[in-house]
Amino acid sequence: MAPTAPIAPTAHTPLPVTADVLDKARARGSASVGTIDVSSLGGNSLQMMFAKLQLALAESSKSSAMGYINDIQNTQEEQKLVAKMLQEARQLQADAGATGKTTLMSDNMAEYMRDKGLAWDTKGNDKAHFKDEWEVAIKSLQARSESLGTDTQQKMVFVQDFMGQYNSYLQGSNSIIQQSNQTLAELARAR
């Protein structure tokens, strides 16, 4: 078999690792050593591009988690409102039971229940309720509160998932950067 002509080195062609090659690489500022392209260990190397991708994915996971965190905060605010209305409805029910007369549902409670499609006793087509008529509104508010609690728990699971992804991507990026730095340090020591 005839010997082949040497291939002219390029930025993408690995060169044999010798002291001569390292000296030439230092002089030019780039060369391939083994399978690592020294010139690309900066911002455009595969390692750095992968690290940047990992960081972008980490940021995307963080943004998704933050969206769910904001939703959780809004849901918790609504839960507080429902708890307050539930307390109000129970007090109005107790007052109606004590007096034997009707008590009036507040405009805010009626508006909230209408907006959320919650049931309340509509006997008499008004907001005045006897003790037993308050049961429908109280049960509706309790169901809404439970639904909001379940929604919050599900969103918290999503937040945990996205934060796990965030940590994984961030750890992957840091690991790649650390490996690149270690490779650069080893190349500098070989000098």
Residue 32 phi, psi (nearest 5): -100, 135
In a domain, 4, yes or no: no
Summarised one tens digit per residue, pLDDT across range 123-164 is: 877 899 999 999 999 999 999 999 999 999 999 999 999 999
Give domain status of residue 21, yes or no: no
pLDDT tens digits along 66-116: 999 999 999 999 999 999 999 999 999 999 999 999 999 999 999 999 999
Counted domains in the chain: 1
Question: Residue 149 belongs to what domain range?
Answer: 52-175
| 43 part of a folded domain | no
Domain-embedded: residue 138: yes
* Any domain includes 44: no
Asked if residue 136 belongs to a domain, the reply is yes
Q: Report the chain's C-alpha Rg in angstroms.
A: 34
Instruction: Check: CB of residue 90 under 8 Å from CB of residue 177.
Output: no
Q: Who wins on pLDDT, 12 or 161?
A: 161
